Amino acid sequence: MCRPVLPAYLLDFGHIVLGTVCTQTVVFSNTGWFPVSFNIERSARSQLGFCVDLARVYHLPEREAVECLVTFDPRAANLSIGPAEVTVPINV
């Protein structure tokens, strides 16, 4: 069985003023030859101020893409000033 390989991707929000909320659109593309299904683990991310607005994706056709919104709200997570980093697992 062929197992898909996901590349690592860094989404950099840059410098954020405390008290503001930043959002970025992320595009997931299926560059393979078979439909793919995946979901994003959200539970622990919200505690760190990150929210990924994407439901489970079922059978995304080859050469197709789906967009999602990633939001970072440091105040909602009671984060102090300084760098914030989180790894978001994607279950294929």
pLDDT score, position 15: 86
Q: Scanning the structure block, which residue is given the tokens 């991310």?
A: 45
Run means of pLDDT, 10 residues per run, the chain, 92 residues:
74 86 92 88 72 89 93 85 77 70
Name the residue among 56, 1, 60 with its Cα closest to residue 32.
60
pLDDT score, position 77: 82
pLDDT score, position 35: 92
pLDDT score, position 32: 85
The 3-state DSSP composition of the chain as helix, strand, coil percent (nearest 5) reads 5, 35, 60
- Flag whether the pTM goes above 0.95: no
Q: Say which residues have a Cβ less than 8 Å from residue 58's Cβ, sequence separation at least 6.
A: 37
